[in-house]
Chains A and B, each alone.
Chain A
């Protein structure tokens, strides 16, 4: 059974600082997705990572995928308050009918 773990579960950081969220998964996959969720809202797609070594950047967020290590990272550069949200990674298990298995989520709070 595919397990997806994120750490940390909760992250409080000051504006202007850098930090990394980690997403580990337990079985083979070459597709990983990052989502943002604001309280009570839907899941906003941030990144689609489809191959080993994939790196994507959008604004202050950068995501990477290492399929050999079964690890993805979401790096935050010079955090701003607007980035406060919960971030989920989600993995598609190779061989399944494309269902997503979500990580536990990382609640990010950026303080002034």
Chain B
């Protein structure tokens, strides 16, 4: 069964450093998303991406965040200057037709900011 692949699985970074989280969505999917989940809490939407541009973003997705699809397979989330409160599990997801057939989530990247 096709999977959404995320790397790394765990990243520890110092406050103020830049991090890039990587995702390889399912190959025939056109819609891409990033979500985050702070430990023990619900899953929160960050950003959606379609046709090489951001479709929608949440209030969390401020100027410190950016997304990119640098080639035909990767989808990245960059946090420019990490804060302690950015510590969370970050999930990438993709869908074929705006979720009509569901959304597939990756295994997540646990980001720890120290």
Contact = CB atoms under 8 A, between A and B. Distances in A.
B12 to A, nearest CB: 16
Q: Name the interface size band of chain A.
A: 20 to 34
Q: Which 10 A-B residue pairs are closest in the complex by CB-CB distance?
A: A97-B55, A98-B98, A97-B56, A102-B43, A43-B105, A48-B102, A99-B45, A42-B107, A98-B99, A102-B42
Interface in B73-101: 91, 95, 98-101
Given A104-B42, A105-B42, A98 B31 contact: yes
A98 B105 contact: no
Q: Provide the main secondary structure of the chain B interface.
A: strand
A43 B43 contact: yes
Interface of B: 31, 33, 35, 42-45, 48, 50, 55-56, 58, 91, 95, 98-108
Nearest to B39: A40
Contacts of B45: 99-102
B42 A88 contact: yes
Nearest to A99: B45
Interface of A: 31, 33, 35, 41-45, 48, 50, 88, 90, 92, 96-105
Contact of A33 (B35, B48, B58, B103): B103
A30 B50 CA distance: 21
A50 B97 CA distance: 13
Contacts of A100: 33, 35, 43, 45, 99, 103
